[in-house]
Every structure is written in structure tokens, then in C-alpha cells.
Structure 1
Amino acid sequence: MNQVNQADTKPFLACLLFLAWLLGEACATTLAKTPVPESATLTGYVRNVNGTPVAQARLTLLTARQTVAATTVSAADGRYLFDDVTPGTYELVAATSDGLGVRLAVSLAAGITTVRDLTVLPTPVAETVTVTADVGLVQDKDELGQTVTVIPAGRLQERATQGLAQAFAEEAGLSVQQTSATLGGVFVRGLVASRVSVFVDGVRYTTGAQRGGISTFFNLLEPGSLRGVEVLHGPHGAQYGSDSLGGSVQLLTATAPLTTGGFVFQGESTFFGISATSGFGHATRLSFGTPRFGGVVNLAGRRINTLRAGGGVDSRAAVTRFFDLPSNRFYGARQPDTAFTEYAGSLKAVATPRAGHQFVVHYQRGQQDGGQRSDQLLGGDGNLLAKLGNLMLDFGYLRYDGQRVGGLDSVTVTGSFNIQREERINQGGQGNPQALINAQYERTRAVGLALSGAKTLPGRHTVLGGADVYRDVMRARAFDAHPVTGIATAARPRVPNGAYFNNYGFFVQDVWEAVPSRLRLAASLRYGVASYRARARDNALVGGRAVVEDDSVRTAAWTFRFSGAWQLGRGWVLAGNVARGFRPPNMTDLGSLGLQGNGVYEIAAPAVAGRQAFIGTTADASAVSTGLPVRQVIPESSLSYEGSLRYRNGRMDADLTGFVTNINDLLTTQTLILPPGAVGTRLGTEIITAQLPTGAVFVAPATSPVRVRANFTGARIYGVESSLGVRLTASWSLSGNFTWLHAEDRATGRPPDVEGGTPPPQGLLRLRYQPPGRAWWVEGVVAAAHRQTRLSSLNLDDRRIGAARTRTQIQNFFRRGATVRGFVEAGPDGRLGTADDRLRLTGETLAQVQARVLGAVASAPLFPRLPGWATLNLRGGYRFGERHHLLVALDNLLDQNYRTISSGIDAPGRNLTVRYTIRL
């Protein structure tokens, strides 16, 4: 292990001081008298789909950082005008009072009047504008070499009722992960959680403490506060730093409506109800604006009650997993432990002290109460306690966005903070009422500073460079309480208390208009550094002994991206992209020890230093030693290639993309192998209770073998993403998409041990009817996924996917969780706890249940493959005048029982959603 030394902190401090100095210089320049730059002009007409001029449409010019550059309204003849605008690229947004709108990317040159006519539509065939693919630029998707998915606010409202993760369903290349009722995430090109970075308005939301297979705090981001989402497919380390091996999720918050004169007030309030969860919620957005100052406030809350999945059954319930009996015969059609309450609020203020200089302050708060890991309770393992208490988020930033600063066309400086808190209370042993109750409290505090500056150079080059630095610090404490005596003792936290993680880097980007309106090339280069430190002295002794070792690691890497888009003519575009990604091991990878969210007891390398520990061949009890010693983990890296063919005209938008991603030094968890005689020794605070002849060891809180994090192998993921949107007539439109992925271990060709598994082939078809000038619309949606037969040992053992069960696990649940809950009754002798105990529903003994479930084998997964599924959905909306809007959705009409890969709960069954919105 590397030892802590002062030299490790010098680059971090130098970067921080450099950015602080530049921030001061930028602010000083803002207040100084500077010459008025040469300006640009944008004009045109706003019309509806019939060609009729639209008056009083509100138009806004937004920078790539989503700050407001200018606003105006259209005249009676539909004409609009932006005069005296700083040259650059902008997002032009037009919105009418009856809910129609359009978004375009515009590039404005000094001294030139640009003309762009706009046609406002109820629903475009596809969203085409991106503000995140190339940092600091607003562009049309067809100008890019890489693939970007844009999800507008309307789709967010239709989908995201229970949490933000739902918004990513029904998109090409994406798949939703729903770990529990409260926890969710998104797969991008077959990778999830720690391999998909998340940003809010360009500020890093991902922290160095995030877990590997779940996204604990993703759903704390309130969908009602967003004006859109962009997902960048493939590695984007050169633009956005580490962790984007699969892709990057970019969340864009709503902006304040600055005006050309006077005061404007806008607002809307939404109420919704959901039958599948008996849930309901409310969200309100209020905004105001003047020529120099504006603000927007969001308040939201929801109550989600118990879930009814398809068919009224839980496919991986503990009683199904261990007894092969349907869950509804034990506790009805609704799944226990799936209810929770959520509150959220945000405030965003914008100030423009003088033309070309803007300050933005953003703060948001989110909290979830009453959540539980249902997949650890009756929904999977059968435990008695798995509480998620007080999940809280405090996130904010202060941003300066200036035009013509210090010889640059634009400068953006952002300072941010991010505080994420959680409390978990668990009792393992598959319902053992005598097992210790473990309480874990964690608070990750991240602060960041980022700077970027852009300059247009001769030869049609737009160059942007900058740096960013984030520091994450963990505060953690843990206790074990005896369930009978109530005596609590200190325990080892999951991640060491006082551990920190520094993440910083320097980057440069060049976008070159090689052939005007025909060929655009882009290149990015970044040098990134990550460092970790944990100290024993910052952590309490447990049983008089230290359970945290001094440890420090520093890693660095170069990442790059080269891409291009060639306009072939007549609507055809050929695009390509090559990119390298980098993911340093974070605090969870380097210092994790204890029972994890997947029900496995996991350790990091320092916990077995000097014990001749080896990595197992698999992630389950069948593992034998590979002969590879356990060492501290190193960074993952990836190299990705993609090519796209696109076609777009006024009626059609189609994309076809093929890609290959090679991941080196894949970081995963494998079974820990120790020398004989390990029983009775410690792993952290736990005593090893059993050891197989192969060397695999067990501890009391978990029924699976202990696992260790290791760079075990390399992986290759390749696939096809396709989408199509066609406006058949003025009223009818057809759209759909299809995604196919294949993942393999590069050494063996078998499914790789990637946390979360690989989503199966899946697709969607949508037919929409929306008559022009009418106040209503209706659409039918068919979504389907093929079965997934390529599951690794890690996936098959995961209770959320394969749901493996052994004779010992069946015995434990029968005698513990099932007995405590009254599912087991005493045999003829009248005493519980004997071999004659009977399963109340069937009258079987434990031996008979084991024989029926497993036959002659010692273990087998409940699902050796992930079943396919298909759903039929109907949705529609009706607008009452200009202020009232009703949305009704009937989803999963056939009541299909299914779950997406790596999800801990099944998808909702037949479900009615009603959403009513009033504009104030």
C-alpha cells in the first residue's frame, strides 16, 4: 500500500488555489469597465404546424450552461428579434401559452444577422438539441460523432411518478434498474451505477463513496425540477472526468424567465395518483423574472404505498425463492416493505448585473423516509430488518457565466457542494431473531470548483479548456445492538470514518468546422487524478482492537475522445467516435468492509493483508482458488468505438449505431479464498463461522461466501442501438427503438462478472394520434424484452436476478424468518424448532421442502435465465383551455409479471396513472 505523504496533496492544493485565483480574476473583470463586444442578431418568425403566425410566444436564448442570455416575445405577425447578442452557440427555446414549443441549436456570428423560422409542435418526432455532448457548446445531435439521448420535460412528467429512474425507460441504449422502491438507477450500454456518471447542470453529482451495484441517491433528484435530461452514450472521461465507462447522465434544471422589460410571473401545480402503488403526489413550480433578476422555486412530495406487481405476485419473494410457492398465498397481492414518503424542494436565482455577465445560485434538498430494502426482507432474503432511514440530499452551486472575459469568448466558474446522508439498520441471518442488529450512519460531503473558458480561433476552431477539482469526505459510524439485551457496541463502518477521495483534472477540447455545414470534427483530452486516504486513528476501536488500517492510493490517467460527423446530403449523416474512459477505485472499492446492499459480506484488500488470501474463480460457493493473490485494486479503463448512420428530414428521424467497448482491469467481487484453519478468526468485526474445503469462508450476517473486490478480468460489450420516428400524417406519428447488447469475458467468452448483469435485447413501438389544433392526444405503446440467458455466477447468485438458493439457505429461512412470521407450525410433538415442524400452507417438513425445491442437488438458482416480457400501454392527454391539462395512462394492460435486470422489485402490474396540471 502507498503510505500517506504530503506530496500526494500538493497537486490537489495547487489545482484548488489556481482555480480560486481564476475565480477572483473573473469576478474582478466582471465589475471592471470593459469594451462592448461586437454583437450578433437573430430573427425569424414563429408559426404553428398550419403555417399560421403565433403571437406572444415566449422565446429564450440559453447558453450551454443553461444561463439565460436573452428573452423576447413574438409580435402579432409571429416575428421575433434578438438584437445585440454576444456571438456564440445557443439553445433557442420557444413556448406558447397553449403548451406548444420547439428547441433549436443556433450559432451566431459577430456582425451577422441570422434568420431562423420556428414551427411549434405539440410533440416533435425526436428531440435534437444537446448542450452537454461537447462542453460549453449548444449543438444539433446530427453534428456530433457520438450518440446522445435527449428526454424532454414532457416525457419526464409522463414517466417519472415514483422516482427519476423511471424517466429513462423506453429509450434506445438505456434500461432502468429499480433496486428497491426508493432506490433506482439507469443502465447505459450495459453498465450501471458506479460506471455511469451523473451531473446536474454540469456539476458532478456522483461521489467517491457511491456503491457499486445500486444508485442510492439518484432518486432524490426531483424530476419536477428538471427541464430535460441528456444521456451521453459511451465513455466521456475526456469531457467529464472519471466513472463514465458506460455513459454520463446530464440533468438540466429549470431556468428563471428573465424578461426584456417589466415583471413576469409563471407557475404550475401538478397532482397525480397511481393505482399500482396506491400512491399520490404533488409538485409546484413558481418562477418570476425581471430584466436583471429572476428565480424559480420547486416544491414536491409523494407518498408511495405498497406495490402490486403483475399478477399480484412477487417473482423473487423469499417464500418463492426458498419454498417454490407463490407469494400471494402468504401475504396477498401487494408486496410488503415497498412504501415510502419523499419530499423535495429547490431554489434557483439568476442575477445579471450587466450585459454579458450572469450569476446563478442553485440549491436543492431531497429526503426519503420509511424506505426499506424489500429485496432483503420478504422480497428476497427473508430477513427481519432492512431499513433505509433518513436518506437526505443537500446539493447546490454558485456559478458565474461571463462573455468576453479576459480575451476569451466565454468563461464559466462554478463552486459546488453536495451532502448525501443515509442510515441503514439491518439484521441478517435470513430472519434470525437472535442476530445482531447493525446500524450504519454515513454522510458524504463533497465540495467542488470548476473553471472553463472558450475561444473561437481562425479556421473555424472553437477551443475550450479548463479544470475541475472535487473533494469527498466520509463521516461514518456503526453500532451492533443485541436484540435481547439491547446492549450496543461500536462496529466497523462500511467505509472508514474520515476517509477522503480527491478527484481532479485538466482538460482541453477543440471543435473544428472542417467543411462548413458538411464536416465537423471534435477532439478532447484530459489528465485526471484521483487519490484516497483512510487512517486508523480516525476510527473507533472495536473490542479493543483497530479494524481500519492506514491506507492511501493515488492514481492518474489520460483520457481522450475523437469524433466526427459528415453531412452526406439529402438528410444523411455518417458519424464516428473513439473514446477512452477511466474509473479509479473509489472509497467503496478501496475501503469497503461489511454486509452490503446485495446481502453479501464484502471486504477490501487491506482487511486480509498478510493472510495469504487468494481470489476465487467465481462469485459463489463453487469457487476455487485462481492462484491470484488479493491485492489492492487498481483503476478500470475502457476503449470504445462507435459508428452511426442517421437520416432526418421534415417527417422522419432515424438512427442506427453500432459500438464496441473494451473494459480493462474489470473491478468486480469474487469469492475470498483463505488458507485452511480460518474458522474462529476475524474479518473486520465478524468471526469466520465456516470454511469449505476449497477455502471459501462464511460469517454470520450473510449466507453467501465472503467476497473480495478485485481486478479480476477484462470485458467486452458490443451492441446495436436504433431509433425511428416518422410523422405519417399531420395527426399520426410512429416511433420506436431497439437495443441489442452482448457482453463477454475477454479471456473466456463467458458472461463477465459485471455488477448488475447485462440488459437483454429490448425494444418499443409507439403509435400516436394528435390532431392539429385539437386539445387532446392518445397513443398506444408496446414495449418488450427478450429473455436473457447470459448470466454470470455473480448474476445467478444475486437475489435480484438469479436468486440462488442452497439447502442451508432453505433451512435458515424455514427455521428463522418463516417461523418468526408464522408460516411454520409445530409438528405432532407440539414444539417448534424440531425436525417435525411443518410448513403451514402445505404441511411439509423441512426435509420435504428441500427435496421438492432442489431435488438431489445442493444448490440452484430460481431463475437460471431472466424471462422475457411484453407490455401493452395506452396513454392520452386533454387540455382544458390554456391552464388545465389532464394526463391518463393505462400501463401493463395484460398485467404481465416481469422485472428489469438487477432490480430488487418487480415492475408494477396493471396500473392507472392520472396526472392533472394547472398553470397559474
Structure 2
Amino acid sequence: MKKSIPFVLASLFGAEEVEAQSTRPDTLRAISLSEVVVSANRVQERKADIPQQIDVLPAAQIRLQNPMNTADALQNTGQVFVQKSQFGGGSPVIRGFEANKILLVIDGVRMNNAIYRAGHLQNILTTDANAVDRIEVLSGAGSVIYGTDALGGVISILTKNPRLADSTTATQPRVGMSSFVRYGTAAKEKTAHTDLSLGWRKFGSLTSITASDFDDLRKGRRDYKSFPGFGENLRYVERQDGKDVVVPNDNVNIQRESGYRQLGVLQKFLYRPSATQQHTLNVQYSTTSNVPRYDRLQEYRNGNLRFAEWNYGPEKRFFASYQFQYSRPTAFFDMVRFTPAVQKVNESRLSRAFGNVNRDENLEEVKIGSVNLDLFKQIGRHELRYGAEATRNKVESVGRRVNIDNGATIGIATRYPTGSTYATTGVYASHNWEITPQLILSDGLRFSTVKLKANFNPEFFKSSLLNSDQKSSSLNGNLGLVWMLPVGFRVSGLVSTGFRNPNLDDVSKTFEQNNGTLIVPNPDLKPEQIFYREAEVSQTIEGKLHVAVTGFYSTLTDAIVVRPYTAPDGSTTTVYNGQPFTTVANTNANKARVYGFSGRFNAALLNHWSTQASVTYTKGRVLTTDVPLDHIPPVYGRGAITYQNRKLTAEASMLFNGRKGLADYSPSGEDNLGQNTPVGALGWQTFNLRTTYQITRSWSVQSGLENILDQSYRPFASGINAAGRNFYLTVRFER
């Protein structure tokens, strides 16, 4: 464990050397007990010292996979399940939890905000996979270090850093550049990326820009024999001569009205005035075009297409943080990191019924301020990490109805109470004790508070449930043990607790469901609590083999679920946008359990060959009502074999999902059974080939063939079929 100190210092004052090592496409170096991660305790430490499963996706692997977005990068690992309601989507599932029960963190700052919903989220797409240095997936409860929302796990995204000059006497800047263009056939994808790094002795700059244009996605042509034609797009809506017209699709495998465009920009400035301190300014911006909600656009009512338009409006994310790091041993710390940050998120929902000239628009803006303080101290065989976090969200919500013919606009009910605030605070401490070089004890505590205040405008929402004013607190802890045995065997165990406090989307959202009921606010919601256990057995032969099996078991109490709701005044209906609705609401109704296992295998073979495999099995059940829990994917995983030499890297892989039958679906409706076959989600597998060839020192070409057999399939809980056979070609220039 003492080896973690040099790793910490290298992270702070030798970022360019750490980055250079982490991005080498060397399979042998990946099989190591000494791999360094930061997601467990917010500072770098050896992965082997941590009693919780952490999977790392480095930049070299992302580059080889050549994904369209960050969600696809996670899915291609085979260790994270991803749901999609539309092509421009991607909602990760970890340990049977999804959406606002998973915490997204970028460069140490939480992305989750007050309106992250419980269903399916595509917010991870606002991070540019081409600007990422590594992604770390911490599976299982992570509330001790990260606070609310980390029930199923933490996805920590670390973006690239500027690289300073190698020599302290260098007079010319160190210049690094990477650019590529990519074309893919399944969606006529056109992506262009460039990044430029300039590094002097003390100052560095990194600029990264990626622009993508995706046409409508083509599904596979090879149907299941038992369900021929499943997922075919037979017709879609066009606006012709001021009227909505249903148009027959001349190619039923093209999923019309699914394409979108995206832009991502990152700018970092690094200033290192001395060997003991470092300053980083980190600015990120992401935006999209309208993103069609494909599953809604293929929704029928009385035999007719229901919607002429259903789009997520342009999703914009602005992020800016300043990070100060200082390392000099004192009585209270060896290293301190201070990170204030601001974010602004804009999203919207734009829907118009077929034949209706009025488009309903709900627009949301969330402004987030946060500050993190993290400290590290080593005393003999003890490592102490402690710190504090505070965040504040303010939500502005607008509802309007726009006549698309004459532009006339009237107000409608907002999705959320405008002017609402949501604030969190927390203090934490975690401790590692190297009892012996082979036995390491981990423990930690966190105390958190959450405050939410929301007031609805009674003009549009006729209900007694107009005000929400909540305060709550949670105390969470963990205890883990790692035992290093001879010849690379390792045994670890962990118990921990976690929580997720109801946010504005849980407490104060109004939303018309597909079944005609209306979700109304419930000011009496309590935090969800989880008790998590994990055990792992692994063996590592340095540079040659790593195999691990992990079992996990979670107990969830006060789980938030949608149930019929009676207001304090006894009413079970309300008037919303001038129409009466039966009311339902989020309530703390359930106790549930989630359990399963995951296995990983990575071996270096002779003559430049290596092989990797992973599998994850999860089961979940609501104990209160004895029904399946939602968001539980079928068994899934990946197998691959890779060849590497000086110029050529080639990988053949298989991604697979098992079947999920009707008896395993949750009755909540969150798993979108109506979007799948009459017998549930069918099993599937795709075979894929990817290659990279280094033509010269600066030029390389990548090509790949995904879903080689052109299988038509729709992953569990998704609302759109996955891509059919996709050939892509990428040309890269690097110096």
C-alpha cells in the first residue's frame, strides 16, 4: 500500500508521464496488480488495495473500439449494460440500477443534478469519448465517498490533460496533435475530431473538438425466425403542404426520424509553478440538435401513429471547474485538492400529436454550483483520505404551447416547479490500514444532508400538492478487507451502505404517463437506502493472466416506486392543463433485493496474442409485493481475442445478451415491455472485427465491421433496434 504515495505524486506533478503510460495499447501491461485507479477514494491508489470491483476503460481501448459516443464505449466493454429509447441515447445499468441511481462524475465533479429521472437517462452522451483519458466504473454502493445517488455504482470519467515540456530548460513548447475523420455505414455517420496540446515548462493548454452527424439508423436485415419483421419501420410522419401525412417507408430497415447531430468542446489550461502545486482550469461544452424520441414516434393509438413530433430539444451542457492541488507534508495532510465548479444544463421535450398544429414545449434549465475539498495523509501503515462536498441546484422550468402555423404561444403547466432549489452537503473520511503487506483493511464514514424547496404555480395545476419543502440527512459507512495470498491469489470482501435522496424529479414532477394517469408531486418521500455486500476471488500472474469472480447482494429499503396516490384532501384525481386525470405518485413502497455475480478473464498468449472475456448475471425482486424489480438486465457479456504487433492491432469480439421472459419483467412499465416482442426480450449476439494499422509515425488507419451477421435485435428495455452491419473507416493523424 505504501506504493500509492509515488502514484499520488505522479498524478499531481507528472501528469504527462502517467498519461503516456495509460494510453499505450500494450495488452501485457494491462494485466497487473499495480494498476492505478482514482474512483474509489478520489485519489490515486493501487487497484489491488481496494475491496470493491472497479473496471477501467483507458484511452487506448476507447481508441481501438472507435465508439460513436461514450455510452457505446461502455457497452463495448461487455461489463456495463446500456439501454436506449432512441438512437441519440444511452442509459448505463450497473448492479441492476440505472439512471438517477447511478452517479456520473466528470473530473471529480458530480454530473447528477436535481432533475435526473428514475427511468432512462442519456446524459452520459454529453461527454465526448474522444476527449477521455480513462473511464473507471466503480460497481456497487459508493455513497461514503460520493454521497447521494451512488446506489448501483459510480462512473468516473477523467478527461485528457495538457502535457508539459519534458525538460525544465526547454524554450520551445511541446506540441501534440491528434485528428481523425470517421465514416460509418449503419447511420451514414460523419465524425471529425481534433485536439491540440501545447506545453511549456510550467504552462500547458489542451483544446479538443468533436463534431458528429448521424443519419437515421439502419437495423439489421437478419430477423429472428420466430418474429420476422420485428422492429421494421413501416411508416412515419412528414409535414407536407402544412399537413401531417403518413408516409410508407421505402426501406423498412431504416428507422426513420432517428438521426441527430452533436458537438463537444473541451479546453484545459494547466499551470504548475513549482513541484508542490498545480492549477487547472477545465471548461467543457456539449450540444446536440433535436434528438428524436424514436419509441414515441413509433407509438400507435387506435391503429394510427400518435405523434407527428416528439423530440428531446437540444441538450446543452456547460461545465467549468478550477482545481488547485498542493502537496507538501504537514500535520494535517500530505496532499490537498480544492475544486469549485459551475454547470449549466439545458434540456427540453417537444411533442405534437398527429394532425394537431399545437406543439407542447417543456424547457428546463439547471444551474449547479459545487465545491469539493479532498485531503490525503499517510501515517505509518495508515492512509487517511477525508474531505467535504457542497452542491446547490436551481431549476427554471417553462411550459408553452406553440402554434406551428402562426407562431402563437400560450403558457401551459411546467414539468417542474420553476425557481426550485436542491442542495446537498457532506463530509467524509476513509481509512486504509496495511496490517501486513498481505492484509489491508478499509473503512469509511460519511454524513450527508439534503434540502429541497419547490413551489408549483397554481394557475395550471389544480391540486393541494403545490409546495414541497424537504430536509433529510444520512450517515453511511463501509468496511472492507483485502487478503493477498501466495502466487497471485487475492480474496476481498466489502459491506457498505448507501442512499439516494429524492430529487426534484421524484418529489415535484408532473408527467402524463402512456396509460393516461398523471404523476403528481409527493412531498412525503424519504431517501432510498441500500445495504451492499460484495466478495471477490481472483488470481493474477503479472503480465500474463488475470481471472476474477465477484458476487454481490444488495438490500434496498424505502425504494421509490410509482403507485396510485390519494392527496391529503382525499382526492384521487386532479386537473392538469385543463383535463382531469387519475393521480399516481412516487412513494416509498418497497423493499427489494438485487444479487448476482460477474466474472472477468484476461490472458496474454504467445506471439502478440491476448484474450479477454466477461459475463454479468443479475437478479432483482421486490420483496414487498413479490414481483420482479425493474432495470434488471438479462445475462450479458463479451469475449474477444486481440493481436498486436508494432504496426497492426486487430480484435475479433462477440457481444451477447441472454433472453428475458415475461415472468421476469417488472409490472412498473419501466422496462418497456410494449416495445419488445410478445414473449419479452430475445437473446442476441453480435460478432465484430476491428483493426488499427500504423502507416507511418503520424498516420494510421482504422477499420471495423460491427454486427457482421447483420442480426436484427433490440436490447432489453430499449425502444429502438440496434445497428445492423456497420462498416466504419477512420483516418488518424497524430504527432
Structure 2 equivalent of residue 269 of structure 1: 179
Structure 2 equivalent of residue 879 of structure 1: 694
Q: Where do 1:282-321 residues align within 5 Å? A: 282-311=192-221, 315-316=230-231
Q: Where do 1:41-60 residues align within 5 Å? A: none
Deviations 1:226-252 (A, max 9, x none): 101000000000011110110000000
Match of 2:151 among 230, 245, 255: 245
Whether the aligned pair in 2 keeps the contact of 1:319 and 1:378 (CA below 8 Å) is no
How far is 1:788 from its partner? Answer: 0.9
User: Is structure 2 residue 653 aligned with structure 1 residue 781?
Assistant: yes
Structure 2 equivalent of residue 200 of structure 1: 106
Deviations 1:36-57 (A, max 9, x none): xxx9998xxxxxxxxxxxxxxx
Counterpart-to-counterpart distance in 2, 1:230 and 1:70: 17
Q: Secondary structure at the match of 2:314?
A: strand
How far is 1:750 from its partner? Answer: 2.4
Match of 1:711 among 567, 578, 588: 588
Structure 2 equivalent of residue 637 of structure 1: 529
Counterpart-to-counterpart distance in 2, 1:389 and 1:70: 38
Deviations 1:473-500 (A, max 9, x none): 1011101346788653211211110011
Q: Where do 1:302-451 residues align within 5 Å? A: 302-311=212-221, 315-316=230-231, 332-378=252-298, 382=305, 383-404=307-328, 407=331, 408-428=333-353, 431=354, 433-434=355-356, 436-451=358-373
Counterpart-to-counterpart distance in 2, 1:123 and 1:205: 31
Whether the aligned pair in 2 keeps the contact of 1:283 and 1:299 (CA below 8 Å) is yes
Consecutive unaligned residues of structure 1, counting only runs of 5 or more, are 1-38, 43-60, 73-90, 102-119, 322-326, 607-630, 690-696, 698-705, 805-860
How far is 1:225 from its partner? Answer: 1.0
How far is 1:185 from its partner? Answer: 2.0
How far is 1:904 from its partner? Answer: 2.2
Structure 2 equivalent of residue 684 of structure 1: 576
The one-letter amino acid of 1:264's match is R
Q: Secondary structure at the match of 1:310?
A: coil
Deviations 1:523-581 (A, max 9, x none): 11100111100134xx48339x7897122011111111111211011010001111111
Distance 1:328 1:903, change over 3 A: farther
How far is 1:454 from its partner? Answer: 1.6
Counterpart-to-counterpart distance in 1, 2:176 and 2:669: 52
Whether the aligned pair in 2 keeps the contact of 1:217 and 1:393 (CA below 8 Å) is no
Counterpart-to-counterpart distance in 1, 2:358 and 2:188: 34
User: Is structure 2 residue 621 aligned with structure 1 residue 740?
Assistant: no
How far is 1:869 from its partner? Answer: 0.6
Distance 1:917 1:896, change over 3 A: same
Counterpart-to-counterpart distance in 2, 1:336 and 1:551: 41
User: Is structure 2 residue 73 aligned with structure 1 residue 167?
Assistant: yes
Structure 2 equivalent of residue 603 of structure 1: 519
Structure 1 equivalent of residue 56 of structure 2: 150
User: Is structure 2 residue 116 aligned with structure 1 residue 210?
Assistant: yes
Structure 1 equivalent of residue 674 of structure 2: 803
> What's the TM-score, normalizing by structure 2?
0.90
User: Is structure 2 residue 474 aligned with structure 1 residue 557?
Assistant: yes
User: Is structure 2 residue 439 aligned with structure 1 residue 519?
Assistant: yes
Whether the aligned pair in 1 keeps the contact of 2:491 and 2:538 (CA below 8 Å) is yes
Deviations 1:738-776 (A, max 9, x none): 111111112344202x3xx21101222112222x44x11
The one-letter amino acid of 1:411's match is V
> What's the TM-score, normalizing by structure 1?
0.72
Counterpart-to-counterpart distance in 1, 2:176 and 2:537: 41
Distance 1:127 1:171, change over 3 A: farther
The one-letter amino acid of 1:346's match is L
The one-letter amino acid of 1:389's match is G
How far is 1:361 from its partner? Answer: 0.5
The one-letter amino acid of 1:467's match is A
Match of 1:469 among 373, 384, 390: 390
Q: Where do 1:527-538 residues align within 5 Å? A: 527-536=447-456
Distance 1:347 1:485, change over 3 A: closer
Counterpart-to-counterpart distance in 2, 1:418 and 1:522: 33
How far is 1:275 from its partner? Answer: 0.6
How far is 1:139 from its partner? Answer: 2.5
Counterpart-to-counterpart distance in 1, 2:497 and 2:330: 32
Whether the aligned pair in 1 keeps the contact of 2:464 and 2:567 (CA below 8 Å) is no
User: Is structure 2 residue 503 aligned with structure 1 residue 586?
Assistant: yes
Distance 1:41 1:480, change over 3 A: closer
Distance 1:442 1:41, change over 3 A: closer
Match of 1:542 among 451, 460, 469: 460
Counterpart-to-counterpart distance in 2, 1:320 and 1:563: 55
Q: Secondary structure at the match of 1:894?
A: coil
Deviations 1:309-364 (A, max 9, x none): 1128884568699xxxxx99675321111111111111111111222011111000
The one-letter amino acid of 2:320's match is G
Consecutive unaligned residues of structure 2, counting only runs of 5 or more, are 224-228, 237-246
Whether the aligned pair in 2 keeps the contact of 1:470 and 1:502 (CA below 8 Å) is yes
Whether the aligned pair in 2 keeps the contact of 1:318 and 1:380 (CA below 8 Å) is no
Q: Where do 1:630-669 residues align within 5 Å? A: 632-649=524-541, 650-669=543-562
How many aligned residue pairs are there?
A: 708
Deviations 1:246-278 (A, max 9, x none): 000000010111233312110110111111001
Structure 2 equivalent of residue 907 of structure 1: 722
Counterpart-to-counterpart distance in 1, 2:686 and 2:373: 46
Counterpart-to-counterpart distance in 1, 2:516 and 2:615: 34
Structure 1 equivalent of residue 378 of structure 2: 456
Q: Secondary structure at the match of 1:224?
A: helix
Distance 1:670 1:40, change over 3 A: closer
The one-letter amino acid of 1:658's match is G
Q: Secondary structure at the match of 2:221?
A: helix
The one-letter amino acid of 2:221's match is G
Q: Secondary structure at the match of 2:145?
A: helix
Whether the aligned pair in 1 keeps the contact of 2:180 and 2:194 (CA below 8 Å) is yes
Distance 1:674 1:530, change over 3 A: closer
Deviations 1:186-205 (A, max 9, x none): 11111111000011111111
Q: Secondary structure at the match of 1:904?
A: coil
Whether the aligned pair in 2 keeps the contact of 1:438 and 1:480 (CA below 8 Å) is yes
Distance 1:495 1:548, change over 3 A: farther
How far is 1:370 from its partner? Answer: 2.8
Q: Secondary structure at the match of 2:362?
A: strand
Whether the aligned pair in 1 keeps the contact of 2:83 and 2:718 (CA below 8 Å) is yes
How far is 1:604 from its partner? Answer: 3.0
Q: Secondary structure at the match of 2:88?
A: coil
Counterpart-to-counterpart distance in 2, 1:350 and 1:602: 50
Deviations 1:133-170 (A, max 9, x none): 43243223222110001001122234453321001114
Structure 1 equivalent of residue 637 of structure 2: 763
Whether the aligned pair in 1 keeps the contact of 2:164 and 2:201 (CA below 8 Å) is yes
Counterpart-to-counterpart distance in 1, 2:384 and 2:500: 26
Counterpart-to-counterpart distance in 2, 1:328 and 1:363: 45
Structure 1 equivalent of residue 239 of structure 2: none
Match of 2:602 among 718, 725, 739: 725
